[in-house]
Structure 1
Amino acid sequence: MYKPISLPFDGAFIADSPFSWIARDNSKPGRSDSESWIAQANHEWSKERVEMTNYQVESELVPEFEKISGQSCKLYQSHLWRYAKVENPQDQYFYLDANRNIALCGDWFIESTIEGAWTSGYKLGNAISEMISPP
Structure 2
Amino acid sequence: MTVPIAIIGTGIAGLSAAQALHAAGHSVHLFDKSHGSGGRMSTKRSDAGALDMGAQYFTARDRRFVEVVQQWQAQGYVAEWTPQLYNYRYGQLSLSPDEQVRWVGNPRMSAITRAMRGDLPVTFSCRITEVFRGVQHWSLQDAEGVTHGPFSHVIIATPAPQATTLLAAAPKLAGVAAGVLMEPTWAVALAFDTPLETPMEGCFVQDNPLDWLARNRSKPGRASTPDTWVLHASSAWSKKHLDLPKEAVIEALHGAFAELLGCAMPAPAFTLAHRWLYARPATAHEWGTLSDSDLGVYVCGDWCLSGRVEGAWLSGQEAARRLLEHLD
1:100 & 1:47 partners in 2: Cα distance?
36
Letter in 2 for 1:110: L
- Give 1:56 deviation, angstroms: 1.9
Deviation at 1:101, TM superposition (A): 8.5
Pick one of 7, 15, 20 that aligns with 2:211: 20
Alpha carbons of structure 1 residues 57 and 124: separation in structure 2 relative to 1, 3 Å: closer
C-alpha contact 1:94 1:121 (8 A) present in aligned 2: no
Please name the residue that 2:279 is paired with.
84
User: What is the CA distance between 1:37 and its match in structure 2?
Assistant: 0.7
1:44 Cα deviation from its structure 2 partner = 0.3
Q: CA deviation at 1:47?
A: 0.2
Matched AA of 1:80: R
When residues 102 and 58 of structure 1 are mapped into structure 2, their CA distance, relative to the original with a 3 A threshold, is same
Superimposed CA distance per residue, residues 38-61 of structure 1 (whole angstroms, 9 cap, x where no aligned partner): 100000000001011112222311
**Deviates further, 13-22 or 60-69:** 60-69
The aligned counterpart of 1:72 is 266
The 1:15–1:54 alpha-carbon spacing in structure 2 relative to 1, beyond 3 Å, is same
Q: Percent identity?
A: 25
| Separation (CA, whole Å) in 2 of partners of 1:58 and 1:67 | 14
> Deviations along 1:111-132, whole A, 9 cap, x unmatched?
43xxx1224425765995xx99
Quick one: which amino acid aligns to residue 108 of structure 1?
W
Q: How far is 1:72 from its partner?
A: 2.6
What is the TM-score when the length of structure 2 is the normalising length? 0.33
- Which structure would you say has the larger RCO, counting Cα contacts within 8 Å and 6 or more residues apart? 2
SS of equivalent residue, structure 1 residue 77: strand
Work out the CA distance in 1 between the residues paired with 2:250 and 2:309.
28
Task: Evaluate the alpha carbon distance shift between residue 25 and residue 101 of structure 1 in structure 2; reply closer, same or farther with a 3 A threshold.
Answer: farther
Corresponding residue pairs, total: 127
2:249 alignment partner, one of 57, 80, 88: 57
Amino acid at match of 1:10: E
CA contact 1:105–1:117 (8 Å) conserved in 2: no
Map 1:42-53; keep pairs closer than 5 Å: 42-53=234-245
TM-score (norm 1): 0.71
| Larger Rg computed on CA atoms | 2
Alignment gaps of 5+ in structure 2? 1-191
Deviations 1:80-123 (A, max 9, x none): 111112235432344578899877653222343xxx12244257
Q: Are the counterparts in 1 of residues 301 and 315 from structure 2 also a CA contact under 8 Å?
A: no
Greater share of strand residues, 1 or 2? 2
Residue 221 of structure 2 corresponds to: 30
* DSSP-derived class of the 2:280 partner: coil
What letter is aligned with 1:76?
Answer: T
Secondary structure of 1:83 counterpart: strand
